[in-house]
Structure 1
């Protein structure tokens, strides 16, 4: 289990360390659409597929990100956190996931040995982490906080729409869009951490 200090630390992936297998970050435009209840249905179906092909190797499968928050506008891409025993041991899970339609697109060995797979339809990012990774805890906290706090949900929606507008005007990538909303994300995290009694968030 990660420590409190691990959880509150904003340890972002270094884009220079990423090993892309499919040509780099997704180019624009960034589309933000109203919440679609079908996203939950898609996740349920995908989670069952992942658990079927991996069996006990799938330690947890969580719907995270904005599509997991009812009422929140989002990019129409399902984000899933998959926990396995060792993300660096791709032989233990990659073949099974690719047989199920998920394609490995990037490795982030310096960021918790993160791996990201993509599925074309429904559009999905499948993030693979290890059992003691603080990011999976952070993602659940952020999701659950937004589910229960409509004010921050509205704040985050406004930040997303503003970030998408600027990114699209400048012809940027999804990574540019993510950077533009980082300040609001960290402010929301700080409130979630404080509410959970996790001191020292920055």
Structure 2
């Protein structure tokens, strides 16, 4: 819901940084993989019981997630780059709740399973929508120039990162916070399905 507004705020700075990185020889794929490595480091720190320390690599990973597209726009965009980016995003999104489950399976196991199931459902509705939109030649730049069609939703990347920051700051609140966020994921995916039904039935 907030991604479009967030992109308008951060894209100018990201594009400038992306052009500088490209001039230094950085590739978009390398930035994508660096972002994934930072995100997995954050998840590992969470699993080891240090969610506060995880905030730095977690936020750095999301900066890298914005920079890879900026580097691609400054050099050469490719379908492969977009595919790698979304795959790494989903790997990161799943790793953070898993980190909390591993840190305290007894306290966080049920809430973590519920949250991961909700992520799985919401991600499926997002990717399925993108496939059908591509099939119909639909395009949007509401969230910047993307290789995939990014459909709007109640919960998007901005809200998810805010949630991750919140649970890192208050790790003891993971079960109740996940119990709030997971249903919102299901609502977001369901709303997307309703929109897809209206758009893709014919």
The normalised TM-score by structure 2 is 0.30
Greater helix content: 2
Bigger CA radius of gyration: 2
